[in-house]
Structure 1
Protein backbone atom coordinates (compact mmCIF):
# COMPACT_ATOMS: atom_id res chain seq x y z
CA UNK A 1 0.00 0.00 0.00
CA UNK A 2 1.23 3.45 -0.86
CA UNK A 3 2.45 5.25 2.29
CA UNK A 4 0.42 8.40 1.62
CA UNK A 5 -2.74 6.36 1.04
CA UNK A 6 -2.07 4.46 4.25
CA UNK A 7 -1.72 7.71 6.22
CA UNK A 8 -4.91 9.11 4.67
CA UNK A 9 -7.01 6.05 5.54
CA UNK A 10 -5.54 6.02 9.05
CA UNK A 11 -6.46 9.70 9.47
CA UNK A 12 -10.00 8.98 8.25
CA UNK A 13 -10.40 6.12 10.71
CA UNK A 14 -9.11 8.25 13.56
CA UNK A 15 -11.43 11.11 12.64
CA UNK A 16 -14.39 8.73 12.98
CA UNK A 17 -13.10 7.02 16.13
CA UNK A 18 -10.61 9.25 17.94
CA UNK A 19 -10.55 6.87 20.92
CA UNK A 20 -8.57 4.31 18.89
CA UNK A 21 -4.82 4.51 19.54
CA UNK A 22 -3.04 5.74 16.39
CA UNK A 23 -0.79 2.66 16.22
CA UNK A 24 -3.82 0.36 16.41
CA UNK A 25 -5.58 2.35 13.69
CA UNK A 26 -2.53 2.13 11.46
CA UNK A 27 -2.27 -1.64 11.98
CA UNK A 28 -5.99 -2.05 11.30
CA UNK A 29 -5.70 -0.14 8.01
CA UNK A 30 -2.70 -2.23 6.94
CA UNK A 31 -4.43 -5.50 7.87
CA UNK A 32 -7.66 -4.48 6.14
CA UNK A 33 -5.79 -3.56 2.97
CA UNK A 34 -3.80 -6.82 3.01
CA UNK A 35 -6.97 -8.89 3.46
CA UNK A 36 -8.82 -7.02 0.72
CA UNK A 37 -5.86 -7.54 -1.62
CA UNK A 38 -5.77 -11.25 -0.79
CA UNK A 39 -9.52 -11.53 -1.44
CA UNK A 40 -9.12 -9.81 -4.82
CA UNK A 41 -6.22 -12.09 -5.73
CA UNK A 42 -8.30 -15.16 -4.86
CA UNK A 43 -11.21 -13.86 -6.90
CA UNK A 44 -8.95 -13.24 -9.89
CA UNK A 45 -7.47 -16.72 -9.57
CA UNK A 46 -10.96 -18.23 -9.53
CA UNK A 47 -11.98 -16.25 -12.61
CA UNK A 48 -8.81 -17.32 -14.42
CA UNK A 49 -9.44 -20.94 -13.46
CA UNK A 50 -13.03 -20.78 -14.70
CA UNK A 51 -11.88 -19.20 -17.95
CA UNK A 52 -9.36 -22.00 -18.56
CA UNK A 53 -11.96 -24.76 -18.15
Structure 2
Protein backbone atom coordinates (compact mmCIF):
# COMPACT_ATOMS: atom_id res chain seq x y z
CA UNK A 1 0.00 0.00 0.00
CA UNK A 2 1.27 3.50 -0.83
CA UNK A 3 0.56 4.72 2.69
CA UNK A 4 3.02 2.22 4.10
CA UNK A 5 5.65 3.69 1.77
CA UNK A 6 5.24 7.16 3.26
CA UNK A 7 2.55 8.56 0.99
CA UNK A 8 0.83 11.25 3.10
CA UNK A 9 -2.02 11.59 0.61
CA UNK A 10 -3.08 7.93 0.54
CA UNK A 11 -5.08 7.87 3.78
CA UNK A 12 -6.87 11.13 2.99
CA UNK A 13 -7.63 10.00 -0.55
CA UNK A 14 -9.11 6.80 0.84
CA UNK A 15 -11.21 8.72 3.34
CA UNK A 16 -12.56 10.97 0.59
CA UNK A 17 -13.42 7.99 -1.59
CA UNK A 18 -15.35 6.39 1.29
CA UNK A 19 -17.47 9.53 1.77
CA UNK A 20 -19.33 9.31 -1.46
CA UNK A 21 -19.85 7.55 -4.72
CA UNK A 22 -19.06 8.91 -8.13
CA UNK A 23 -15.61 10.28 -7.31
CA UNK A 24 -12.87 8.71 -9.37
CA UNK A 25 -9.71 7.74 -7.48
CA UNK A 26 -7.68 10.06 -9.73
CA UNK A 27 -9.99 13.01 -9.04
CA UNK A 28 -9.95 12.29 -5.31
CA UNK A 29 -6.16 12.13 -5.25
CA UNK A 30 -5.87 15.34 -7.29
CA UNK A 31 -8.23 17.13 -4.89
CA UNK A 32 -6.33 15.90 -1.83
CA UNK A 33 -3.02 16.89 -3.45
CA UNK A 34 -4.27 20.41 -4.23
CA UNK A 35 -5.73 20.81 -0.75
CA UNK A 36 -2.49 19.61 0.85
CA UNK A 37 -0.39 21.95 -1.34
CA UNK A 38 -2.55 24.98 -0.51
CA UNK A 39 -2.53 24.19 3.20
CA UNK A 40 1.26 23.81 3.15
CA UNK A 41 1.61 27.11 1.30
CA UNK A 42 -0.58 28.85 3.89
CA UNK A 43 1.50 27.38 6.73
CA UNK A 44 4.72 28.48 5.05
CA UNK A 45 3.36 32.01 4.70
CA UNK A 46 2.32 32.08 8.36
CA UNK A 47 5.78 30.86 9.42
CA UNK A 48 7.48 33.47 7.24
CA UNK A 49 5.35 36.21 8.75
CA UNK A 50 6.08 34.99 12.27
CA UNK A 51 9.82 34.86 11.50
CA UNK A 52 9.66 38.40 10.09
CA UNK A 53 7.90 39.69 13.20
CA UNK A 54 10.46 38.03 15.48
CA UNK A 55 13.31 39.66 13.53
CA UNK A 56 11.85 43.15 13.83
What is the number of equivalent residue pairs in this alignment? 51
Structure 1 gap segments, 5+ residues each? none
Q: How well do the aligned residues superpose, as a CA RMSD in angstroms?
A: 1.0
5 Å-filtered alignment, 1:1-53, equals 2-3=6-7, 5-53=8-56
Q: Which runs of 4+ in 1 moved over 3 A?
A: none
Could you say which structure has the higher helix fraction? 1
SS class of match (1:20): coil
TM-score, length basis structure 2:
0.83
* TM-score, normalised via structure 1 length: 0.87
